[in-house]
């Protein structure tokens, strides 16, 4: 835990106690958070603009802002698999005006990074889960293999020259690519990018051979015929991509991963502020326009019960434990 976390938590608890005293309702009054928000809220995205996490964030930002009666600005802070942005938010003022949108990488960072600089369960308060996005295995259109089984055979025969793109160690694309290599029994030449947005651009342009990426980023490129799709990494086919088989159907049942997203604020943020953010998130996820946008990109909002701080924290804790074993077994370590 950061050295200044305890004083912040004490200050936050003191503020809540004062609210309770003034309202006479054991902390249910608004008190010092009554005017929240009275300035712009920034949602920090740890990856490049145009990437899948950025896309999800921008889908919910406007309806969340409307529910809060304020304005939300999306800021992209790239680097180190999302840990640069997470580290910045962890040390931000815990007042609800700096929010982090992160994906599955929040649960893998403790195992991947020896000197992480923050602890997800200690240095953040969870706001709620947002969505769980399927991934796709996609390639440049000129790559020869026609099926996932063919691709597996091809990369094993050409391991020294085939290039596997990702958004850097700890990114969802890296984790999915790691699972592919484990399932295929091969070690490939990986090409890291500052986000899957630029990686997918190079894939379309033929500069790299293949990659894993979320349906929120690949659906349009697949349906337009700009990339070749081999499989979706979920137990069932994705409605927006009905002709793309699952990895199980394609002969690689070991490769199953979906990318969950959630909102975080610095530890010590007043509980009432967290509740307001969580309520705004729930409102956004119930917005028909958001549901429609997500459906077109192969995903959907989480159920209402999961868009809560409690459900989010429990899921984060479970995922940290799960991925710690996977990463240890794979012998992967970030510098």
pTM: 0.79
For residues 124 and 263, membership in a common domain is answered with: yes
For residues 227 and 265, membership in a common domain is answered with: no
CB atoms within 10 A of CB 321: 11
> Of 232, 249, 276, which marks where a domain is finished?
232
For residues 14 and 95, membership in a common domain is answered with: yes
Q: What is the pLDDT of residues 21-43, one digit of tens each?
A: 333 333 333 345 789 999 999 99
Token digits for 318? 């479970």
Using the CB atoms, write b or e for 205-221: b if 16+ within 10 Å.
eeebbbbbbbbbbbbeb
For residues 95 and 196, membership in a common domain is answered with: no
For residues 106 and 128, membership in a common domain is answered with: yes
Contact 315, 100 (CB under 8 A): no
CB atoms within 10 A of CB 185: 8
Tell me, yes or no, whether 245 lies in a domain.
Answer: no
CA distances in angstroms from 175 to 123, 212, 253, listed in the order given: 24, 9, 16
Predicted local distance difference test score (pLDDT) of residue 32? 58
For residues 192 and 116, membership in a common domain is answered with: no
pLDDT reading at 221 higher than 80:
yes
Tell me, yes or no, whether 191 lies in a domain.
Answer: yes
For range 135-143, the mean pLDDT: 97
Token digits for 160? 């020294």
For residues 46 and 71, membership in a common domain is answered with: yes
> Of 191, 215, 232, which marks where a domain is finished?
232
For residues 93 and 156, membership in a common domain is answered with: no
Tell me, yes or no, whether 240 lies in a domain.
Answer: no
Tell me, yes or no, whether 242 lies in a domain.
Answer: no
For residues 294 and 305, membership in a common domain is answered with: yes
Predicted local distance difference test score (pLDDT) of residue 244? 98
Q: How confident is the model at residue 90 (pLDDT cuts 50, 70, 90)?
A: very high
Q: How confident is the model at residue 335 (pLDDT cuts 50, 70, 90)?
A: low
Tell me, yes or no, whether 249 lies in a domain.
Answer: no
CATH number at residue 141: 3.40.190.10
CATH number at residue 75: 3.40.190.150
Tell me, yes or no, whether 138 lies in a domain.
Answer: yes
Stretch among 28-37, 177-186, 212-221, 275-284 having the lowest mean pLDDT: 28-37
Tell me, yes or no, whether 247 lies in a domain.
Answer: no
For residues 78 and 150, membership in a common domain is answered with: no
Q: How confident is the model at residue 4 (pLDDT cuts 50, 70, 90)?
A: very low
Q: How confident is the model at residue 211 (pLDDT cuts 50, 70, 90)?
A: very high
For residues 14 and 124, membership in a common domain is answered with: yes
For range 248-264, the mean pLDDT: 95
Tell me, yes or no, whether 241 lies in a domain.
Answer: no
Q: State how many domains the chain has.
A: 2
Closest alpha carbon to 281 in 298, 259, 303, 248: 303
Q: What is the pLDDT of residues 92-109, one digit of tens each?
A: 999 999 999 999 999 999
For residues 152 and 271, membership in a common domain is answered with: no
Q: Give the integer Cα–Cα distance in Å for 230 and 217.
A: 15
Q: What is the pLDDT of residues 264-314, one digit of tens each?
A: 999 999 999 999 999 999 999 999 999 999 999 889 999 999 999 999 999
Write out the residue range of the structural domain in which residue 23 sits: 5-132+259-330
């Amino acid at each position: 835990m950061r050295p200044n976390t305890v004083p912040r938590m004490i200050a936050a608890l003191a503020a809540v106690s004062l609210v309770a005293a003034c309202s006479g309702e054991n902390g249910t009054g608004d008190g010092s958070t009554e005017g929240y928000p009275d300035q712009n809220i920034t949602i920090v995205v740890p990856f490049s603009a145009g990437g899948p996490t950025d896309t999800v964030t921008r889908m919910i930002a406007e309806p969340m802002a409307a529910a809060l009666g304020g304005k939300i600005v999306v800021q992209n802070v790239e680097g180190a698999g999302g840990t640069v942005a997470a580290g910045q938010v962890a040390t931000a003022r815990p007042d609800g005006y700096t929010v982090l949108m992160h994906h599955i990488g929040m649960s893998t960072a403790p195992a991947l990074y020896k000197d992480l600089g923050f602890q997800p369960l200690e240095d953040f308060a969870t706001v709620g889960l947002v969505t769980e996005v399927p991934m796709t295995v996609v390639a440049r259109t000129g790559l020869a293999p026609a099926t996932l089984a063919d691709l597996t055979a091809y990369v094993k025969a050409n391991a020294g020259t085939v290039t596997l793109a990702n958004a850097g160690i700890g990114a969802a694309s890296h984790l999915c690519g790691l699972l592919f290599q484990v399932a295929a029994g091969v070690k490939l030449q990986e090409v890291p990018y500052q986000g899957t947005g630029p990686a997918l651009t190079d894939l379309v342009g033929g500069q790299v051979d293949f990659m894993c990426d979320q349906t929120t980023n690949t659906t349009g490129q697949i349906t337009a015929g700009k990339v070749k799709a081999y499989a979706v990494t979920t137990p069932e086919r994705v409605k927006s991509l009905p002709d793309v088989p699952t990895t199980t159907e394609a002969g690689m049942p070991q490769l199953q991963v979906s990318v969950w997203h959630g909102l975080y604020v610095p530890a010590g943020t007043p509980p009432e502020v967290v509740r307001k953010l969580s309520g705004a998130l729930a409102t956004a996820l119930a917005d028909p326009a958001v549901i429609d946008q997500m459906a077109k990109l192969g995903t959907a909002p989480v159920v209402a019960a999961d868009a809560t701080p409690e459900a989010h924290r429990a899921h984060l804790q479970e995922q940290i434990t799960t991925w710690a074993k996977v990463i240890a077994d794979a012998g992967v370590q970030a510098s």
